[in-house]
Amino acid sequence: TVLTNQITAGEVIERPASVVKELVENAIDAHSTEIDINVEEAGLKRIQIIDDGDGIPDGDAEMAFKRHATSKIATPDDLLRVHSLGFRGEALPSIASISDTVLTTSTGDSGTLIHITGGDLVAHKPAQARRGTSVTVKDLFFNVPARKKYLKSASTELARITDIVNREALSHPEISFSFTHNGRELLHTTGRGDLLQVISAIYGVQTAKKMVAVTGQNEVATLSGFVSLPEVTRASRGYISVLLNGRFVRNQQLNKAIIAGYGSKLMVGRYPIGILNLEMDPALVDVNVHPTKQEVRISQEPELSKLLTSSIFDRLATENL
């Protein structure tokens, strides 16, 4: 029902950045090679995500807005090995219940347009569209003013959106991302699979030159990625990114393990930049922890920590510092 969707929206959609995250992850799950993110007024006026992915078949498009409608899980067993980013089927109905949402989608042949305002279906009709999906979300939170009050300043909300876009781009160097705010381009990645190019697009060419490749392996995982030389630091841990099987994870132990890899090379209160990919058996990762799917519980945390610390330590030892 509309009410249930609005309640669920409270958990899944806290702010404009949550909309961007959910829609971009849907585009990634749909095997897109190009994702355009256009935002106006920090997302409160308009958020538009255009992808060139699989699209939704005509007959399934309206279903995608029903609660717990997901095409990504067929059996309970699948829950144990979630590869896709989304799997709860909550995002689209939640977003559409608290905004004015238009989705246009095509699998390559005919296309469909669905327009929902505050959870009510306004239009469902055939539409001309190239293969892929475009979702435009206007007037977010128009019917939940209480939620709007909790939002921070436009610049803070935009910073959170930028943060999400950066992370998605870092986790998918093989996808070309373009991100604009009020018509101004804030990020463009080539989609050629070059992580260092993405780092350069986000943190700047000079910083990218001071990043070194790190690899490693032990009995539980394989590690690859880049870390900054100890001379390139930031005042917060916010520039350390850990990906587990392609999914961004927030895990304090792993962050600490990365910092530990620097030994005593970092000044007090300074932190490195790092993008570290860990690949491990998905069956050992519990991803079903929190609706926003960021707090991930990992059975093999100590082994992963050791791998991070020793790989970074060994790599930095090869530099003449």
Site size with Mg ion, rule: CB under 5 A: 3
Give residue 236's Cα distance to chain centre: 20
CB 40 within 8 A of CB 14: no
87 in contact with ligand ADP (CB under 6 A)? yes
53 in contact with Mg ion (CB under 5 A)? no
- Among residues 16 and 86, whose Cβ is nearest to Mg ion? 86
- Among residues 88 and 270, whose Cβ is nearest to ligand ADP? 88
Place of tokens 């998605």: 168
Coil, strand or helix at 25: helix
Place of tokens 């009020």: 182
What are the two backbone dihedrals, phi and then psi, of residue 113, each rounded to the nearest 5 degrees?
-120, 135
- Among residues 26 and 245, whose Cβ is nearest to ligand ADP? 26
- Among residues 55 and 274, whose Cβ is nearest to ligand ADP? 55
Residue 287 has which token pair? 């991803």
Q: Taking phi first (over 0 means left), then psi (-120 to 50 degrees means alpha), and beta for anything else, what does residue 191 get?
A: left
Among 13, 37, 61, 91, which residue sits at the site for Mg ion (rule: CB under 5 A)?
91
Kindly indicate which of the ranges 1-9, 24-32, 117-125, 203-211 contains the residues binding Mg ion, using the contact rule CB under 5 A. Answer: 24-32
Q: With the C-alpha atoms ordered 301, 304, 310, 311, is the resulting torsion angle positive or negative?
A: negative
Among 5, 44, 51, 136, which residue sits at the site for ligand ADP (rule: CB under 6 A)?
51
Upper half-sphere CA count for residue 103 (Cβ side, 13 Å): 28
- Among residues 27 and 249, whose Cβ is nearest to ligand ADP? 27
164 in contact with ligand ADP (CB under 6 A)? no
Interacting residues with ligand ADP (CB under 6 A): 22, 26-27, 30, 51, 53-56, 64, 69-72, 86-92, 133
